[in-house]
Every structure is written in structure tokens, then in C-alpha cells.
Structure 1
Amino acid sequence: PKELSPTEQERLARGYIRATWKILGERTDVPAPDVYTNSQIMAWMMDEYSTIRGYTVPGVITGKPLPLGGSAGRDDSTARGAVYIVREMAKVMGIELRGATAAIQGYGNVGHFTHKLVQDLLEMRVVAVSDSKGGVYQADGLDFNAVKEHKRRTGSVVRLPNTSSITNEALLELDVTVLFPAALENVITADNAGRIKTRIIAELANGPTTPEADKILHEKGIYVLPDLLCNAGGVTVSYFEQVQNAYDYYWPLETVHQRLDLKMAEAFRTVHRVAQSKRVPNRQAAYLVAVERVAEAAKLRGWV
């Protein structure tokens, strides 16, 4: 999609809805934005579905622009949710995040918002960032605005002035307090897990850690905040968007941030409590919480 013109992107988005509209709906299946999508693409999708139905249906798509029923705070919600989770994990571990170091693999929508929020909310030093072309390192910390402007001008973070080059592979092995894999799946494997030195891995990408690597990291005492928990801020604010669409009443940005903070902190505490009580890794605890909720609902409905 990133190689298509805006006109071609619109045709693709509308064509997708024409092919799938029968299985979509406010109470059946609600698409949300992901890689290579933006609020404009979600707007085209909502409009196409509404055209087919003959009336405006804002709640069928999330991640929409504000004038079309989008939610304030949706743009940085995945990154913001992860930052809230990292904050809670640090409290449990007794880690002072102010002045601590972080590295971010992946500098797309989620990665660049993570840089800004880690710098602004947690007061950490982001010492390395990377994208598909490579990465940059600066021990004193990379300024968010400088990286953002350089990527806007050049299309990549590489060759940012006054920095050292670093590969995506080497970035993962940096001795930092928090590592944010925010790019591809399966980047932390049995081959490199033994060389990873971070204290916390906050999974912003989907599936960045293989099961074999999980075992190694757990044995090393590295805390993994699993994708199921850590990157849920985006879908949480998509849920908030659905709620606002249903009520046709929209919340200010501060309210969205407060409610996201409460939801993410509560989710972390629940997962951490299960991990401690059952003596299992965070990922297994997150799945136990999720499956138990579904199982309880299924039992109450008489399905099992």
C-alpha cells in the first residue's frame, strides 16, 4: 500500500469494504487501523460501508478522523498504552525510569510516538532507534524532534548527524533499561536471546519474541511485557471510539488519556497478580487471564 498513489489507496480501501461489508458491522466485526493505514484510509472505508447501507454508520470503523466520529488520542494510543504499562512494571521492579535508557526497533507510527512519550512522560533517554534501513545510536540520548525532522526529510533515521550507525540486530542487544521491539515479528529468537541485556522488553510489535526465546529470557530474569498486554492501548482507544460513536457524545483528550491509563494499569495489575500467584511468565499469565474471561462468559451463556 505504501507504494500506491492516494487515488489507488482509496480504490483499494473502498474495494476491500465492498468485498467484506456483509461480515462487518457495529456488533459483528469492526476494523481498526494497522500497518500502512491512516485515518484517511479508515474514513474511506467508513464512507464506503455507509454508502452501501444507505446511512452513515460511524461505529463500523475505528481510527477515523475527528470530524467523522474519530476519538481524540487514537493516533498515539498504542504507544501511550505501552508507556503506561512500562511505568507500572518499573514500579513493581523498583526501577527509577527518569534518566534511564531505552532503545526502539521500528520507527513507524508506533515507534516514533513511543520515542516522544518515553522522552516526555517517563523522562528516559532514548539512545537508539531504527527502521528498515538501519539505525542510529547516541549515548546521551536522541532528541525526538531532531529524529522526526530527519526522517521527514530523508525517509529514514539513518545518517542522523552526530550519531553512530547501528544495525537492527545490534540495537536489540544494547545494555538499556527498556527495549521496545516495534517493528517485525520473530526478531528475538533463540539465537540472540542469550545476548540481550535489557531489563524490560515491551512488545509493541505483534509476536516479536519466539517461544524458544521466551524461555531463555525468563531464565535470565528479563521481564517481557507481552504484546497481548503491552500494545493493547490502540484497540482500547478503538473501543473508546465505538463507545463514543454509540452515544454520539465525544470525550476531550484528557478524558481519553485518563481512561486509557486506568484501563492499562488495571490490566497490568491483573496479569502481574496471576503471574505471581501461579509462578508463570507474564505472557502465560496474560493468556490465562484472557482465556478465563472467555471461558466464564461461555459457561454463563450455557455453551460449555
Structure 2
Amino acid sequence: ACDPTKLSRNELEAVSRRYMQEMIPFVGPKTDIMGPDMGTNEQVMAWFMDTYSVYQGYSVNEIVTGKPVSIGGTEGRRESTGRGVVYLIERAMDMLKMDPEKSTAIIQGFGNVGSVAALSLGLKSGVKIVGISDHTVALYNPKGIDVKAAELHVQKKGFLRAFDQGDRIAPNELLEQPCDILAPCAVDRVITEKNADKIKCRILAEGANGPTSPEADLHLNKRWDEVFVIPDILCNAGGVIVSYFEWVQGLQAFMWTETEVTDKLFRILEHSFSQVIKRAKRDKVSHRTAAMAIGVERVMKAKKMRGLFP
């Protein structure tokens, strides 16, 4: 394991290409494709694609998603997860009759997901962002944080560490500050059995994968009338949905504008959100259980139709 932020560009390229070289027997455009996550970016995806293509003897754009638009990437892929998080937050706010301009939000994580979510919520929806963090610092300011200034700072410095628009507090304490919307968009298991009863939000939007531990989920289930949970399986699905679009684009040589991609994304999220809410109400279960049940049922039906062979 290595910290990519401590590698030179040449070192990161060498590690990335070697990794893909070893993965070639296990991946393919119709078997398993790769996409970006923590520690990687579109440049790494470009190296992955190029390395795989060299071994095939021709360009295989569809082997990875999240690559630069100049080599077959999809417009809006980088922003897709954060945009999806915000779209679902807005749908939840509409259901709960919350006024965005009178609401506050805390965003944990300021990478592709957190920064896009913070900017969209703060600049487009009108929500006051009162807390942000990355792995270097957690900032809280009940008067509001200029998220555009924060983004520019990160673009120049790489981290939020020296940004000074708030009180510096412990990362775990940030999650317990009062707000209307809490969006953990960084790492897993930050909401635990110890702090699940301490969070003071109306909407919990899980932008990260697995930010809530199973034990914490039991506590949140008891607070269903206080905390509206948008589970990760739904909340952060925007990225993989648009990755699917990019894969199809590569296979079929399609070209879509960013507006077309975003419209398609929002239509899918709208349908999924409605299905989860209906299922949760019908079965009197949590949103997470409803989402998982819908997914498992779809797999079960497909397996049943295919049967077993040999």
C-alpha cells in the first residue's frame, strides 16, 4: 500500500500501470470494468486504459470509466456522485417541507463527492454550509462557510488544512454539531453506536460507502421520525449510474452532452427514490432495508428466470 499524495507523477504513473498490467487477466470491457475511487482520479484511469489497450493492440476505451473526456470519458462523470447526493437531499427536503434557504448543512469530506455536494447545496440550492472537513481539518462556523473560497483554496493548496473560515474542531465532533442536513461523504463507519444518538440533523445523506455502522443503524431506526436517512446504496449511486452511461458510450460510440447525462441521471434517481419511499411505507421498514430488499428481489427474479446450469 502507498499514499498516492506522497508520490511524484512519474511514481504514480509507474504504480498505476503496473497495477493494471497485473489486473489484465481479470478485467475486460464485457467481464469487469474499473472506475475511480479514493486515491485515484481521471489521470489514473487514463493510464489504466492506455496500459490495457497497449496489451490488446488497439484502444479499448470502455475498460475503465471516469477517464478524461478527451479519451472517451463522459461529461459530468466527476461531478455525478455529488450531484446525485444533492438531488436526493432536495427531494427529501421537498417531502419534509423544508425551506432550503432556512436550512443548514455539514459536509464531511471535500473530495469529488463532498466538494461538489457543498458547492451545489450552497450556491444553487441556497442551503447555508456550516461545516466542512477533509482528512487534514474539520471546520465549523454557524454563520456559514464560503464553499467557493474553500474550493479555490483546495485547488491551490491541495487540502483544507490552512483554510480559516471556521472553528477547528475534532472530526468526530463535527458530526455531532446541530444542522438540518448531515452528509458524510468521506470514509466508512464514521457514524457509530457511540455517536448515532448524538447527531442532530433532520436529513442524513450517506454520500460515502457505508458511513453508518450496522450497530449505529439500529439506533437510527429508532429515530426514524427524527432523522430521515438516505442510505448509501441509493444516495451515492450517481457515480456508478454515470459510469454505466460511460461504459455504454464506449461500447456503442455514443456522445452525450453533460445536460443529457445529468437529465438521465436525475430520472433514474427520481424513480429509485420513489420506489424506496413507497416500499418503506408499505412494509413499515427503514429506507435502507427497503432499498436492499428491492435490490435483492431484482437479483432473485433474474436468477430464478435463468435457472441453474449444469
Distance 1:69 1:162, change over 3 A: closer
Partners of 1:159 and 1:165 within 8 A in 2:
no
Could you say what secondary structure the match of 2:294 adopts?
A: helix
CA deviations on 1:103-130 (whole Å, 9 max, x unpaired) are 0111122111111111133211111101
Partners of 1:224 and 1:282 within 8 A in 2:
yes
Instruction: Tell me the amino acid that sits aligned with residue 248 of structure 2.
Output: V
CA deviations on 1:8-61 (whole Å, 9 max, x unpaired) are 111111111111112211111010100111111101101111111111111111
Instruction: Tell me the amino acid that sits aligned with residue 241 of structure 2.
Output: T
Aligned to 2:41: 38
Instruction: Tell me the amino acid that sits aligned with residue 86 of structure 2.
Output: V
Q: Does 1:229 align with 2:228?
A: no
Q: Does 1:171 align with 2:171?
A: no
Distance 1:274 1:56 in 2: 44
Distance 2:247 2:163 in 1: 40
Partners of 2:109 and 2:185 within 8 A in 1:
yes
Partners of 1:226 and 1:282 within 8 A in 2:
yes
Aligned to 1:262: 267
Aligned to 2:256: 251
Aligned to 1:192: 195
Instruction: Tell me the amino acid that sits aligned with residue 139 of structure 1.
Output: P
Aligned to 2:77: 74
Distance 2:141 2:23 in 1: 47
1:194 CA displacement? 1.1
1:162 CA displacement? 4.4
Partners of 2:145 and 2:165 within 8 A in 1:
no
**Residue in structure 2 matching 1:303, options 292, 303, 308:** 308
Distance 1:95 1:30 in 2: 40
1:1-304 aligned at under 5 Å gives the runs: 1-221=4-224, 222-303=227-308
Instruction: Tell me the amino acid that sits aligned with residue 108 of structure 2.
Output: Q
Distance 1:159 1:170 in 2: 19
Unaligned stretches of 5+ residues in structure 2: none
Distance 1:230 1:100 in 2: 19
Distance 2:85 2:160 in 1: 22
Distance 1:43 1:228 in 2: 27
Partners of 2:146 and 2:165 within 8 A in 1:
no
Partners of 2:107 and 2:114 within 8 A in 1:
yes
Partners of 1:136 and 1:159 within 8 A in 2:
no
TM-score w.r.t. length of structure 2: 0.94
Distance 1:84 1:195 in 2: 26
Instruction: Tell me the amino acid that sits aligned with residue 275 of structure 2.
Output: T
Could you say what secondary structure the match of 1:114 adopts?
A: helix
Partners of 1:158 and 1:165 within 8 A in 2:
no
Instruction: Tell me the amino acid that sits aligned with residue 220 of structure 2.
Output: L
Distance 2:186 2:290 in 1: 24
Could you say what secondary structure the match of 1:201 adopts?
A: strand
* Aligned-CA RMSD value: 1.5
Partners of 2:139 and 2:165 within 8 A in 1:
no
1:303 CA displacement? 3.2
